Amino acid sequence: MAATNPSHSPSYDDLMGLFPPGSDLAPDGTLRIGGCRADELAERYGTPALLVDEGALRARARRYADGLTARRTGGTVAFASKAFPCTAVYRLLAEEGLSIDVASGGELALALAGGTDPDRLIVHGNAKTDAYLGAAVEAGAGLVVIDNFDDIDRLERILATAPGREQAVLVRVTPDVRPDTHEAISTGQRGSKFGLLLPQAREAIARLRGSDRLRLDGLHVHIGSQILDTKPFVQAVEAVAELGDFAVYDLGGGLGSRYTYDDRPPSVEEYLDVLTAAAEASLPAAARIIVEPGRSMVADSGVSLYRVVTVKRGGEETFVAVDGGMGDNLEVSLYGQRFEATVATRFGGGEPCRLVGRHCESGDTLSAGVPLRDPRPGDLIAVPVTGAYTYSLSNNYNGARRPPVVFCRDGRSRPVVRRETYEDLMRRDVV
Protein backbone atom coordinates (compact mmCIF):
# COMPACT_ATOMS: atom_id res chain seq x y z
CA MET A 1 0.00 0.00 0.00
CA ALA A 2 2.93 2.32 -0.61
CA ALA A 3 2.05 5.93 -1.35
CA THR A 4 5.41 6.87 -2.83
CA ASN A 5 5.75 4.53 -5.80
CA PRO A 6 5.30 6.52 -9.02
CA SER A 7 2.47 5.39 -11.26
CA HIS A 8 2.91 4.59 -14.92
CA SER A 9 1.25 6.89 -17.44
CA PRO A 10 -2.29 5.52 -17.65
CA SER A 11 -4.48 5.07 -20.67
CA TYR A 12 -7.92 6.68 -20.77
CA ASP A 13 -9.54 3.33 -19.94
CA ASP A 14 -7.11 2.76 -17.05
CA LEU A 15 -7.99 6.08 -15.47
CA MET A 16 -11.70 6.10 -16.22
CA GLY A 17 -11.91 2.60 -14.76
CA LEU A 18 -11.12 4.05 -11.33
CA PHE A 19 -14.02 6.51 -11.43
CA PRO A 20 -17.61 5.49 -10.59
CA PRO A 21 -19.23 3.37 -13.32
CA GLY A 22 -20.97 5.67 -15.79
CA SER A 23 -18.51 8.54 -15.35
CA ASP A 24 -17.56 10.19 -18.62
CA LEU A 25 -16.27 13.36 -20.23
CA ALA A 26 -18.39 16.26 -21.47
CA PRO A 27 -17.84 17.29 -25.11
CA ASP A 28 -15.23 19.84 -23.99
CA GLY A 29 -13.28 17.17 -22.09
CA THR A 30 -14.48 17.98 -18.56
CA LEU A 31 -15.03 15.07 -16.18
CA ARG A 32 -18.64 14.22 -15.28
CA ILE A 33 -19.71 12.25 -12.21
CA GLY A 34 -23.26 10.94 -12.24
CA GLY A 35 -23.88 13.13 -15.26
CA CYS A 36 -22.74 16.26 -13.37
CA ARG A 37 -19.84 18.39 -14.61
CA ALA A 38 -16.94 18.72 -12.20
CA ASP A 39 -16.50 22.44 -12.90
CA GLU A 40 -20.17 23.19 -12.24
CA LEU A 41 -20.09 21.15 -9.02
CA ALA A 42 -17.02 23.08 -7.86
CA GLU A 43 -18.71 26.39 -8.65
CA ARG A 44 -21.86 25.43 -6.76
CA TYR A 45 -20.41 23.64 -3.72
CA GLY A 46 -16.81 24.83 -3.54
CA THR A 47 -13.72 22.72 -2.95
CA PRO A 48 -12.63 20.45 -1.47
CA ALA A 49 -15.79 18.40 -1.84
CA LEU A 50 -16.66 14.71 -1.67
CA LEU A 51 -18.83 13.69 -4.61
CA VAL A 52 -20.85 10.46 -4.48
CA ASP A 53 -22.38 8.85 -7.54
CA GLU A 54 -25.71 7.83 -6.02
CA GLY A 55 -26.63 5.50 -8.87
CA ALA A 56 -23.29 3.69 -8.62
CA LEU A 57 -23.71 3.23 -4.87
CA ARG A 58 -27.23 1.83 -5.25
CA ALA A 59 -26.02 -0.51 -7.99
CA ARG A 60 -23.21 -1.74 -5.75
CA ALA A 61 -25.64 -2.48 -2.93
CA ARG A 62 -27.89 -4.46 -5.27
CA ARG A 63 -24.92 -6.32 -6.70
CA TYR A 64 -23.98 -7.50 -3.22
CA ALA A 65 -27.54 -8.30 -2.12
CA ASP A 66 -28.56 -10.07 -5.33
CA GLY A 67 -25.24 -11.88 -5.54
CA LEU A 68 -25.47 -13.32 -2.04
CA THR A 69 -29.14 -14.28 -2.41
CA ALA A 70 -28.34 -16.13 -5.64
CA ARG A 71 -25.63 -18.14 -3.89
CA ARG A 72 -27.07 -18.69 -0.41
CA THR A 73 -30.75 -18.73 0.52
CA GLY A 74 -31.47 -16.38 3.40
CA GLY A 75 -28.10 -14.63 3.22
CA THR A 76 -27.83 -11.10 4.62
CA VAL A 77 -25.67 -8.18 3.49
CA ALA A 78 -24.86 -5.67 6.22
CA PHE A 79 -23.02 -2.43 5.46
CA ALA A 80 -19.98 -1.95 7.72
CA SER A 81 -20.87 1.67 8.28
CA LYS A 82 -17.60 2.90 9.77
CA ALA A 83 -16.49 3.17 6.14
CA PHE A 84 -18.94 6.04 5.52
CA PRO A 85 -21.08 6.93 8.59
CA CYS A 86 -23.22 9.56 6.89
CA THR A 87 -26.98 9.80 7.50
CA ALA A 88 -27.73 9.99 3.79
CA VAL A 89 -25.67 6.84 3.12
CA TYR A 90 -27.48 4.99 5.90
CA ARG A 91 -30.80 6.09 4.40
CA LEU A 92 -29.84 5.02 0.86
CA LEU A 93 -28.65 1.58 1.94
CA ALA A 94 -31.68 1.09 4.19
CA GLU A 95 -33.84 1.84 1.15
CA GLU A 96 -31.93 -0.88 -0.70
CA GLY A 97 -32.84 -3.35 2.06
CA LEU A 98 -29.39 -3.79 3.59
CA SER A 99 -28.69 -4.43 7.25
CA ILE A 100 -26.25 -2.09 8.98
CA ASP A 101 -23.32 -2.78 11.28
CA VAL A 102 -22.41 -0.05 13.77
CA ALA A 103 -19.39 0.23 16.03
CA SER A 104 -20.25 3.15 18.33
CA GLY A 105 -23.10 5.03 19.91
CA GLY A 106 -22.69 7.74 17.28
CA GLU A 107 -23.01 5.31 14.40
CA LEU A 108 -26.02 3.75 16.12
CA ALA A 109 -27.71 7.17 16.39
CA LEU A 110 -26.92 8.03 12.76
CA ALA A 111 -28.19 4.66 11.48
CA LEU A 112 -31.48 5.10 13.33
CA ALA A 113 -31.79 8.68 12.07
CA GLY A 114 -31.23 7.35 8.56
CA GLY A 115 -34.23 5.03 8.86
CA THR A 116 -32.49 1.72 9.55
CA ASP A 117 -34.86 -0.91 10.93
CA PRO A 118 -33.48 -1.61 14.44
CA ASP A 119 -33.92 -5.34 13.90
CA ARG A 120 -31.40 -5.04 11.03
CA LEU A 121 -28.69 -3.53 13.24
CA ILE A 122 -25.54 -5.47 14.13
CA VAL A 123 -23.78 -3.87 17.08
CA HIS A 124 -19.97 -4.07 17.20
CA GLY A 125 -17.13 -2.67 19.26
CA ASN A 126 -14.20 -3.94 21.31
CA ALA A 127 -14.92 -1.49 24.17
CA LYS A 128 -18.70 -1.11 24.40
CA THR A 129 -19.80 1.14 27.24
CA ASP A 130 -22.93 0.72 29.35
CA ALA A 131 -24.43 3.73 27.57
CA TYR A 132 -23.77 2.28 24.11
CA LEU A 133 -25.13 -1.17 24.95
CA GLY A 134 -28.08 0.34 26.77
CA ALA A 135 -28.96 2.43 23.72
CA ALA A 136 -28.66 -0.63 21.47
CA VAL A 137 -30.95 -2.70 23.71
CA GLU A 138 -33.43 0.15 24.04
CA ALA A 139 -33.51 0.59 20.26
CA GLY A 140 -34.18 -3.12 19.76
CA ALA A 141 -30.98 -3.90 17.88
CA GLY A 142 -31.19 -7.27 16.17
CA LEU A 143 -27.74 -8.60 17.03
CA VAL A 144 -24.99 -7.64 19.46
CA VAL A 145 -21.53 -9.04 18.77
CA ILE A 146 -19.79 -10.23 21.93
CA ASP A 147 -16.16 -9.14 21.74
CA ASN A 148 -15.13 -9.93 25.32
CA PHE A 149 -16.45 -11.30 28.61
CA ASP A 150 -17.22 -7.79 29.89
CA ASP A 151 -19.79 -7.46 27.07
CA ILE A 152 -21.61 -10.43 28.58
CA ASP A 153 -21.51 -8.93 32.07
CA ARG A 154 -22.79 -5.56 30.88
CA LEU A 155 -25.58 -6.95 28.72
CA GLU A 156 -26.85 -9.25 31.47
CA ARG A 157 -26.85 -6.34 33.93
CA ILE A 158 -28.70 -4.08 31.48
CA LEU A 159 -31.26 -6.75 30.61
CA ALA A 160 -31.86 -7.51 34.29
CA THR A 161 -33.81 -4.24 34.43
CA ALA A 162 -36.09 -5.43 31.61
CA PRO A 163 -37.76 -8.69 32.78
CA GLY A 164 -38.61 -11.05 29.96
CA ARG A 165 -36.36 -9.23 27.49
CA GLU A 166 -33.88 -11.33 25.51
CA GLN A 167 -30.99 -10.15 23.33
CA ALA A 168 -29.63 -12.18 20.41
CA VAL A 169 -25.84 -12.23 20.27
CA LEU A 170 -22.90 -13.52 18.23
CA VAL A 171 -19.44 -14.32 19.57
CA ARG A 172 -16.59 -12.64 17.70
CA VAL A 173 -13.84 -15.17 17.05
CA THR A 174 -10.20 -14.29 16.40
CA PRO A 175 -9.21 -17.06 13.97
CA ASP A 176 -5.44 -16.40 14.04
CA VAL A 177 -5.44 -15.53 10.34
CA ARG A 178 -3.24 -12.65 9.12
CA PRO A 179 -4.12 -11.37 5.63
CA ASP A 180 -1.69 -9.41 3.46
CA THR A 181 -2.76 -5.88 4.34
CA HIS A 182 -1.53 -2.93 6.41
CA GLU A 183 -0.92 -3.85 10.05
CA ALA A 184 -3.30 -1.15 11.28
CA ILE A 185 -6.26 -2.71 9.46
CA SER A 186 -5.45 -6.39 10.04
CA THR A 187 -7.80 -7.70 12.73
CA GLY A 188 -7.89 -11.51 12.63
CA GLN A 189 -4.40 -12.45 13.83
CA ARG A 190 -3.25 -13.59 17.25
CA GLY A 191 -2.57 -10.45 19.29
CA SER A 192 -5.44 -8.47 17.75
CA LYS A 193 -7.45 -6.34 20.16
CA PHE A 194 -10.63 -7.71 18.59
CA GLY A 195 -12.52 -10.86 19.50
CA LEU A 196 -11.65 -14.05 21.33
CA LEU A 197 -9.19 -16.76 20.38
CA LEU A 198 -10.71 -20.22 20.01
CA PRO A 199 -10.16 -21.37 23.62
CA GLN A 200 -11.72 -18.18 25.01
CA ALA A 201 -14.49 -18.31 22.39
CA ARG A 202 -15.42 -21.81 23.64
CA GLU A 203 -15.61 -20.44 27.17
CA ALA A 204 -17.85 -17.57 26.06
CA ILE A 205 -20.08 -19.96 24.11
CA ALA A 206 -20.54 -22.18 27.17
CA ARG A 207 -21.36 -19.20 29.35
CA LEU A 208 -23.88 -17.77 26.88
CA ARG A 209 -25.64 -21.11 26.53
CA GLY A 210 -26.31 -20.93 30.25
CA SER A 211 -27.67 -17.38 30.16
CA ASP A 212 -31.38 -16.73 30.59
CA ARG A 213 -31.12 -13.22 29.09
CA LEU A 214 -28.75 -13.65 26.14
CA ARG A 215 -29.58 -15.90 23.19
CA LEU A 216 -26.52 -17.20 21.37
CA ASP A 217 -27.36 -17.23 17.67
CA GLY A 218 -23.89 -17.87 16.30
CA LEU A 219 -20.40 -16.62 15.51
CA HIS A 220 -18.75 -13.61 13.92
CA VAL A 221 -15.33 -13.35 12.28
CA HIS A 222 -13.62 -10.42 10.54
CA ILE A 223 -9.94 -10.50 9.58
CA GLY A 224 -9.25 -6.99 8.25
CA SER A 225 -9.66 -4.53 5.42
CA GLN A 226 -8.32 -3.95 1.88
CA ILE A 227 -7.67 -7.66 1.36
CA LEU A 228 -6.86 -8.56 -2.25
CA ASP A 229 -6.52 -12.35 -1.87
CA THR A 230 -9.44 -14.67 -1.08
CA LYS A 231 -7.45 -17.41 0.66
CA PRO A 232 -7.50 -15.81 4.14
CA PHE A 233 -11.31 -15.64 4.03
CA VAL A 234 -11.45 -19.41 3.52
CA GLN A 235 -9.01 -19.95 6.38
CA ALA A 236 -11.20 -17.85 8.68
CA VAL A 237 -14.32 -19.85 7.82
CA GLU A 238 -12.48 -23.11 8.45
CA ALA A 239 -11.28 -21.81 11.83
CA VAL A 240 -14.72 -20.84 13.15
CA ALA A 241 -16.17 -24.15 11.91
CA GLU A 242 -14.13 -25.88 14.64
CA LEU A 243 -16.41 -24.33 17.27
CA GLY A 244 -19.49 -26.34 16.31
CA ASP A 245 -22.80 -25.83 14.53
CA PHE A 246 -24.76 -22.58 14.86
CA ALA A 247 -27.75 -20.92 13.23
CA VAL A 248 -25.86 -17.77 12.15
CA TYR A 249 -22.35 -17.11 10.87
CA ASP A 250 -21.32 -13.51 10.24
CA LEU A 251 -18.26 -13.76 7.99
CA GLY A 252 -17.40 -10.07 8.17
CA GLY A 253 -16.07 -8.04 5.27
CA GLY A 254 -12.60 -7.03 4.15
CA LEU A 255 -12.73 -7.22 0.35
CA GLY A 256 -10.27 -4.70 -1.08
CA SER A 257 -10.99 -1.95 -3.60
CA ARG A 258 -9.09 -0.97 -6.72
CA TYR A 259 -7.28 2.26 -5.85
CA THR A 260 -4.45 2.07 -8.38
CA TYR A 261 -3.88 0.79 -11.89
CA ASP A 262 -1.94 -2.18 -10.52
CA ASP A 263 -4.54 -3.28 -7.94
CA ARG A 264 -6.46 -6.41 -8.91
CA PRO A 265 -9.02 -7.11 -6.18
CA PRO A 266 -11.44 -9.99 -6.59
CA SER A 267 -14.82 -8.93 -7.96
CA VAL A 268 -17.87 -8.97 -5.71
CA GLU A 269 -18.96 -12.14 -7.47
CA GLU A 270 -15.59 -13.86 -7.01
CA TYR A 271 -15.56 -12.87 -3.33
CA LEU A 272 -19.08 -14.22 -2.78
CA ASP A 273 -18.25 -17.40 -4.69
CA VAL A 274 -15.32 -18.07 -2.36
CA LEU A 275 -17.23 -17.27 0.83
CA THR A 276 -20.29 -19.32 -0.01
CA ALA A 277 -18.21 -22.25 -1.22
CA ALA A 278 -16.25 -22.18 2.03
CA ALA A 279 -19.51 -22.03 3.98
CA GLU A 280 -20.92 -24.95 2.01
CA ALA A 281 -17.80 -27.00 2.70
CA SER A 282 -17.43 -26.21 6.41
CA LEU A 283 -20.64 -24.81 7.90
CA PRO A 284 -24.16 -26.22 8.44
CA ALA A 285 -26.28 -26.18 5.29
CA ALA A 286 -29.18 -24.40 6.99
CA ALA A 287 -27.09 -21.70 8.64
CA ARG A 288 -27.79 -18.05 7.83
CA ILE A 289 -24.74 -16.31 6.36
CA ILE A 290 -24.06 -12.60 6.90
CA VAL A 291 -21.40 -10.59 5.06
CA GLU A 292 -20.36 -7.08 6.08
CA PRO A 293 -18.79 -5.12 3.18
CA GLY A 294 -17.64 -1.64 4.08
CA ARG A 295 -14.81 -0.30 1.93
CA SER A 296 -15.84 -2.40 -1.08
CA MET A 297 -19.41 -1.12 -0.79
CA VAL A 298 -18.68 2.61 -0.93
CA ALA A 299 -15.09 3.29 -2.04
CA ASP A 300 -15.52 3.45 -5.80
CA SER A 301 -18.67 5.58 -5.73
CA GLY A 302 -16.76 8.52 -4.23
CA VAL A 303 -14.58 11.19 -5.88
CA SER A 304 -12.76 14.00 -4.09
CA LEU A 305 -12.59 17.32 -5.92
CA TYR A 306 -9.88 19.90 -5.15
CA ARG A 307 -8.72 23.24 -6.50
CA VAL A 308 -5.02 23.78 -7.28
CA VAL A 309 -3.63 26.64 -5.19
CA THR A 310 -0.02 26.64 -6.32
CA VAL A 311 2.40 24.77 -8.60
CA LYS A 312 6.08 24.68 -7.64
CA ARG A 313 8.55 23.65 -10.34
CA GLY A 314 12.31 23.75 -10.64
CA GLY A 315 13.39 21.17 -8.06
CA GLU A 316 13.60 17.41 -8.17
CA GLU A 317 9.81 17.20 -8.26
CA THR A 318 6.90 19.30 -9.41
CA PHE A 319 4.70 20.04 -6.39
CA VAL A 320 1.02 20.62 -7.03
CA ALA A 321 -0.64 21.92 -3.85
CA VAL A 322 -4.41 21.83 -3.47
CA ASP A 323 -6.92 23.30 -1.01
CA GLY A 324 -7.45 20.03 0.87
CA GLY A 325 -5.27 17.15 1.98
CA MET A 326 -4.91 15.21 5.21
CA GLY A 327 -7.87 17.07 6.71
CA ASP A 328 -10.18 15.24 4.31
CA ASN A 329 -8.08 12.17 3.39
CA LEU A 330 -6.01 10.51 6.13
CA GLU A 331 -5.72 7.17 4.34
CA VAL A 332 -2.35 8.12 2.85
CA SER A 333 -0.83 9.22 6.17
CA LEU A 334 -2.29 6.40 8.27
CA TYR A 335 -2.06 3.41 5.93
CA GLY A 336 0.22 4.43 3.07
CA GLN A 337 -2.68 4.00 0.67
CA ARG A 338 -1.93 5.27 -2.85
CA PHE A 339 -4.48 7.29 -4.82
CA GLU A 340 -4.46 8.26 -8.48
CA ALA A 341 -5.60 11.68 -9.74
CA THR A 342 -6.23 13.79 -12.84
CA VAL A 343 -6.84 17.36 -13.84
CA ALA A 344 -10.64 17.32 -14.19
CA THR A 345 -10.69 19.55 -17.28
CA ARG A 346 -7.65 17.98 -19.02
CA PHE A 347 -8.28 14.34 -18.33
CA GLY A 348 -5.38 11.91 -17.98
CA GLY A 349 -1.72 11.90 -18.87
CA GLY A 350 0.89 14.55 -18.16
CA GLU A 351 4.05 15.00 -16.12
CA PRO A 352 4.71 13.10 -12.86
CA CYS A 353 3.86 15.38 -9.94
CA ARG A 354 3.68 15.21 -6.17
CA LEU A 355 0.10 16.10 -5.28
CA VAL A 356 0.21 17.66 -1.82
CA GLY A 357 -2.22 19.22 0.60
CA ARG A 358 -2.28 22.57 2.37
CA HIS A 359 -1.65 21.33 5.92
CA CYS A 360 1.53 22.06 7.87
CA GLU A 361 3.00 18.55 7.62
CA SER A 362 5.56 17.23 5.15
CA GLY A 363 3.56 14.01 5.22
CA ASP A 364 0.51 15.79 3.81
CA THR A 365 0.79 14.12 0.41
CA LEU A 366 -2.24 12.89 -1.50
CA SER A 367 -0.23 11.09 -4.21
CA ALA A 368 3.40 10.95 -5.35
CA GLY A 369 4.49 10.54 -8.95
CA VAL A 370 0.95 10.98 -10.25
CA PRO A 371 0.65 12.14 -13.90
CA LEU A 372 -1.10 15.53 -14.20
CA ARG A 373 -1.47 17.32 -17.51
CA ASP A 374 -0.05 20.87 -17.39
CA PRO A 375 -1.30 21.64 -13.85
CA ARG A 376 -1.94 25.32 -13.12
CA PRO A 377 -3.33 27.33 -10.19
CA GLY A 378 -7.12 27.28 -10.39
CA ASP A 379 -7.31 23.85 -12.02
CA LEU A 380 -9.63 21.23 -10.57
CA ILE A 381 -8.09 17.94 -9.47
CA ALA A 382 -10.26 14.82 -9.21
CA VAL A 383 -9.14 11.92 -6.99
CA PRO A 384 -11.20 8.74 -7.46
CA VAL A 385 -12.02 5.89 -5.04
CA THR A 386 -12.46 8.14 -2.01
CA GLY A 387 -15.90 6.95 -0.87
CA ALA A 388 -14.50 4.87 2.00
CA TYR A 389 -12.98 6.25 5.20
CA THR A 390 -12.19 9.76 3.92
CA TYR A 391 -15.44 11.09 5.41
CA SER A 392 -15.00 8.93 8.52
CA LEU A 393 -11.49 10.26 9.16
CA SER A 394 -12.02 13.89 8.13
CA ASN A 395 -10.78 16.32 10.75
CA ASN A 396 -10.13 19.94 11.70
CA TYR A 397 -6.35 19.93 11.53
CA ASN A 398 -5.06 23.48 11.00
CA GLY A 399 -8.64 24.63 11.58
CA ALA A 400 -9.77 22.97 8.36
CA ARG A 401 -13.50 22.96 7.76
CA ARG A 402 -14.68 19.50 6.84
CA PRO A 403 -15.95 19.34 3.25
CA PRO A 404 -19.49 18.80 2.00
CA VAL A 405 -20.84 15.54 0.67
CA VAL A 406 -22.71 15.89 -2.61
CA PHE A 407 -24.84 13.16 -4.18
CA CYS A 408 -24.86 13.16 -8.00
CA ARG A 409 -27.29 11.26 -10.20
CA ASP A 410 -28.67 11.63 -13.74
CA GLY A 411 -27.14 15.07 -14.15
CA ARG A 412 -28.55 16.44 -10.91
CA SER A 413 -26.75 17.08 -7.64
CA ARG A 414 -27.84 17.61 -4.06
CA PRO A 415 -25.86 18.32 -0.90
CA VAL A 416 -26.39 15.75 1.86
CA VAL A 417 -23.75 17.16 4.23
CA ARG A 418 -22.92 20.88 4.15
CA ARG A 419 -19.43 22.31 4.47
CA GLU A 420 -18.48 23.24 8.00
CA THR A 421 -18.36 26.93 8.85
CA TYR A 422 -15.97 28.79 11.11
CA GLU A 423 -18.88 29.09 13.51
CA ASP A 424 -19.08 25.28 13.56
CA LEU A 425 -15.44 25.15 14.65
CA MET A 426 -16.30 27.25 17.70
CA ARG A 427 -19.74 25.82 18.45
CA ARG A 428 -18.57 23.59 21.31
CA ASP A 429 -16.37 26.22 22.94
CA VAL A 430 -17.35 27.23 26.45
CA VAL A 431 -16.52 30.93 26.94
Averaged confidence pLDDT in the chain: 94
Give the angle subtended at the CA of 272 by the CAs of 10 and 200, to the nearest 5°: 115
86, 353, 360, 408: the active-site residue = 360
Q: Is 360 a catalytic residue?
A: yes
HSE, side-chain direction, 13 A CA sphere, residue 404? 17
**pLDDT tens digits along 250-263:** 999 999 999 999 99
Average pLDDT for residues 269-278, to the nearest whole number? Answer: 96
Per DSSP, the three-state class of 343 is strand
Taking domain 55-297, whether its CATH number is 2.40.50.100 is answered by: no
Of 269, 296, 292, residue with least CA distance to 63: 269
**pLDDT tens digits along 123-163:** 999 999 999 999 999 999 999 999 999 999 999 999 998 77
In angstroms and rounded to an integer, the radius of gyration of the C-alpha atoms of the chain is: 22
CATH code reported for the domain at 12-53+299-426: 2.40.37.10
Per-residue pLDDT, 169: 98
What are the C-alpha distances in Å from 61 to residues 107, 166, 195? 19, 31, 27
**pLDDT tens digits along 28-81:** 999 999 999 999 999 999 999 999 999 999 999 999 999 999 999 999 999 999
Task: Tell me the backbone φ, ψ of residue 301, rounded to 5 degrees.
Answer: -90, -5
Domain ranges of the chain: 12-53+299-426, 55-297
Task: Look up the pTM and report it.
Answer: 0.94
